[in-house]
Chain A
Amino acid sequence: MANAKMRQTLELGGMVVAPGAYDIPTARLMQQLGFEALYVGGSQTGTVLGTTEPLTTVTQMADVGRTVARACREEMPVILDAGAGFGDPVHVMYTVEVLEAAGVTAIHIEDQFFPKRVSYHRGLEHVVPIDVYQQRLEHAVKARKSRDFLIIGRTDGLNAAPDSSLPDGGSRDEVVKRAHAAMEVGVDIIMPMGSRNKEDLQYMRSKIKDIPLLALAGSGALGVPDFQAAGYQIVIYPGATIQASIRAIYEIYENLMRTGTLHEDMGDTRDLMNDLQLLPEKWALEEEIGHNL
């Protein structure tokens, strides 16, 4: 079930800050830290699965979405990366059906080519013609069952390479044009990709009116206060979670391989781990029945 909280928060003009999660402990950790939404990114999921995003299926995305939503007892809206929608309008409709049934609350669908290309990860981006993009979103909107399930129109039109479907390549105006095309067919949120500075953010906000905008918090210096000041209502974290994990594991085990010794005793993680597994409530139950002896 889509969680109505996200639509309500947006309608009231509130902020939705959604850290990246990809399994039960990462989802539950964010809930315990006091966040109120989660983000399941494609790139992060592709990394965890070891496949890369362009090779990740809608089934795998739905599995992660379902796992993460259930980890917090469906109390947190989950925003999920549906990539290019996994195909033509018939596939896009199936994608919406599968992801809504998985219990996520919002999905973003973009104008990249399908099948997706790994070249995107080295900055070589391609987008489909605007009418193909609009059809995707039109059918995504048609396929949803609940009004609480939100469709986010993402466009990669800013940095797209010149090719037959966009001879002059990407531009800010192309982004705005595609955002308007998405709004015409009823999307709930716009996600303009590639905005890296305050000036870009302000430009998009000034040209794309009367609809919530979504921003990505990444390696740049921009944070929630900046996005909020620019009029963006949703902030997602596509990579920070897996990056923190890989970095921490790498440091400890690289050191072990080099020196033969584990330099971290992890004694300070006991409460964290206990809480993530909901052990205190299990201990209380066992005490009631004498299993603590």
Chain B
Amino acid sequence: MPRPELRQMLERGETVLAPGVWDAITARLMRHLGFKCLYIPGSGTGVVMGESEPLTTLTETAMVAERASEGVGDELPVIVDVMCGYGNPIHIQLTVRTLEDAGATAIHCEDQLYPGRAHYFRGVEHVVSLDEYQQRIEYAVKARRSKDFLIIARNDVYHAVEKGTREDAVKRAHAALEVGADAIFITGDHGVEDLQYFRREVKDVPMTVVSAGPSAMSVDQCKNLGYQIILYIATINASLRAIRDTYLRVKETGYLPEVPQEQADEMRNLTNTLLGFEEKWAVEAATTEAPQS
């Protein structure tokens, strides 16, 4: 079931930080840190499924969304990247229903060419026509069953091979709003000036931004620019880089890197908390581990 909190937070004008996750433990860690929303980026799911975002199926995306949502007892809203919606309007309807069933609260759907291409990762990106894009969003909106399920309309025209301008990006945002999109997400900005322009031209609707890369904006910068939904995509990069560094050391020396005892204890306590060990130990202490009379 979609969670009403995301809509409510946006209506109250709050800023929503949505960190990327992909399984129960990453989801639970973010909740523990105090995040109020989770994000399933397509790039991350592409890594987890092993074959990259353009080859990731609706089923895989829904599965990842479901296990993240279930990891926090379905208590946090989850925003899911559904890329192009996995096809034509009939496929997009299935996508919306599948994600709604998987426990997602919002999806972002974009105007890239479907099927997606791996050259997207090299900056070669194609978009469909404005009409085709508008249809995608129109049918996504029609397909949802709960008003708490939000459709975030993303467009990539500004950095596409088709050489869209920022005016084109705004035009696509307006086309999406005409058919009932709940929030707008424009990618490919060249910095603050573009973001200000988009915010000025696209009025009265929450805007979405990604905080990543060397010029990643702070929460306050995003707020000041009027962007309410901040997506963090690089969680899986941090995870895999740390694992690589750990095992590079094993490969080279035969030994794991030393972790200071204090840090090791802190992490063990954190994991015990995330897994609810104390509660489980208490049940056992009262039952299977109770002293024999």
Contact = CB atoms under 8 A, between A and B. Distances in A.
Interface in B69-111: 71
A267 B234 CA distance: 10
Interface residues of A, number: 73
B179 interface: no
Given A249-B29, A250-B33, A118 B241 contact: no
Contacts of A46: 275
Contacts of A25: 47-48, 50, 236, 240
B281 A277 contact: no
A19 B17 CA distance: 34
Chain A interface SS verdict (over half): helix
Contact of A244 (B71, B232, B243): B243
Interface string A179-206: 0000000000000000000000000000
Contacts of A34: 251
Contacts of B263: 247
A12 interface: no
Contact of B267 (A243, A259, A273): A243
Given A246-B270, A253-B30, A282-B118, A292 B241 contact: no
A165 to B, nearest CB: 13
Contacts of B29: 246, 249-250, 253
Contact of A249 (B26, B276, B277): B26
B275 A50 contact: yes
Chain B interface SS verdict (over half): helix
B274 interface: yes
A13 interface: no
B2 interface: no
A62 to B, nearest CB: 16
A283 B118 CA distance: 6
A253 B33 CA distance: 8
A86 B164 CA distance: 59
Nearest to B259: A219
Contacts of A265: 212-214, 216
In the complex, the 10 A-B pairs of residues with the closest C-beta atoms, listed nearest first: A50-B24, A248-B242, A224-B254, A223-B255, A24-B50, A260-B219, A282-B118, A277-B52, A245-B239, A269-B237
25 contacts: A24-B47, A24-B49, A48-B25, A49-B23, A50-B71, A119-B288, A219-B264, A223-B250, A242-B25, A244-B243, A246-B29, A250-B33, A250-B267, A252-B235, A266-B213, A266-B234, A269-B240, A272-B241, A277-B52, A278-B51, A279-B121, A283-B119, A283-B121, A291-B117, A292-B124
Interface of A: 17, 19, 23-26, 28-30, 33-35, 46-52, 71, 117-119, 121-122, 124, 217-219, 221, 223-225, 237, 240-250, 252-254, 256-257, 259-262, 264-269, 272-274, 276-279, 282-283, 286, 291-293
